Structures are given as structure tokens and as C-alpha cells.
Chains A and B, each alone.
Chain A
């Protein structure tokens, strides 16, 4: 089954404690992206990747890092989380970003206290 898998689904952490949200897709897509979703602000792109070792900033990259060492994985790293990063995060992949349909993971609800 074609899918994008994120882990964990729920995470509560404390300010400053580094964390990683994993994302994996099984469709051999070159394009992957991270979004955050906040009430009243919709979905905003954090980072995207067009291929292995190629990543670039989206609209809200501050406080986040990503890596793309393998085509299937695109982890999101918060080196020093802060309460304003409390949000619902989505990973997505696509054959051709912005041209073909995107597949989304089930989301990670992160709370930073």
C-alpha cells in the first residue's frame, strides 16, 4: 500500500530537548516536504527536498532542520524546541511536487511545554 509514515503520532516534550520526527515513504518519490498546521494559519511549508541530499527552506524554516540521506526518509529535527513550535506536523511526498498529487502522513501532534 502506498503510504507516508510519520512517527511518533503524538509527542509532548519540554523546551530545549532535541527531538526528531521521522518520515518515510514507500512510493520512490523524489519530492518530500514538511508542513505545520496551526488554527487560523492553515498549512505552512517548513522545508522541502527535491532529491537525496537536496533540501531547501519553505516559508517557516526557523527552528527546524531536515536531512535527506536516503530517498525514502526525510526526518524533521527540532534542535531546541520552543512552545511556539507546538503544532500539528505533516510530512508529504509527491512524484513531482506542485505538479502531481501529494501523499500525506497521518500527522504528528507536538506539544512543547
Chain B
């Protein structure tokens, strides 16, 4: 069953702007991970935030996690054309499951 719900489903912005994607989940998680997928290719891990963390940074990425609201957000600052991709959140559940949302399709316009 799908656990993560992402919002928006699609986002189109101008190069240089910031992009924010949101993810909500239903059950308890060990961590929340974000992945990027370029069209039809494999997923690439971006960042992992543990359930006891509230915010994490990696380069131009900023992730927040609110376990009370069961939600996370991914902020990409100063977007570039190369950031055009689909972005997925995934909740780590127990020791066997990584449950993905349906993704946000991000388009960066030059």
C-alpha cells in the first residue's frame, strides 16, 4: 500500500527560483528519504532524515520532517535546468519496507 502522498503532483518554475515539494505519510517511520528520478531511469538517493531530526541540509537541498503532522518537505534552492526530474519521498518502515509516494514532477524552465 502506498504510504507517501506528495504535493504537488507537478511543479513548473523558472530557473533560479526555489522549488518546494511536500510529502505526507500515514504510519510510523524510522526515517524519511528523498529520491530523484530522471525520466525512465533509476532512482538516485538525495537525502535521508531520521525520525528524531527536524531539519537537514545537503548542498542546495533542505529537508524538514514533522513527525507530529506526519509530513516532510524538500526545498531545492536556486534551481537549475538539471534539477528537472521526478522527486519521490519514501518512508522507512521497520526493517523491510521503503514505501514510496507517487512523486512530484519538477520542471525547471530556462
Contacts and interface: CB of A to CB of B under 8 A. Distances in A.
B45 A59 contact: no
A44 B43 CA distance: 13
B102 A107 contact: no
A43 B104 CA distance: 13
Nearest to B5: A42
A104 B43 contact: yes
B42 A97 contact: no
- Where chain A touches its partner, the secondary structure class is strand
The range of chain B's interface size is 20 to 34
Contacts of A50: 95-96
Contacts of A59: 1
B95 A98 contact: yes
B42 A105 contact: yes
Contacts, number: 70
Contacts of B102: 40-42
A92 B99 CA distance: 13
Contacts of B33: 101-102
Contacts of B97: 45, 97-98
A96 interface: yes
Contacts of B90: 102
Contacts of A97: 92, 95-98
A64 interface: no
Contacts of B14: none
B41 interface: yes
5 contacts: A42-B2, A42-B103, A50-B96, A98-B98, A99-B95
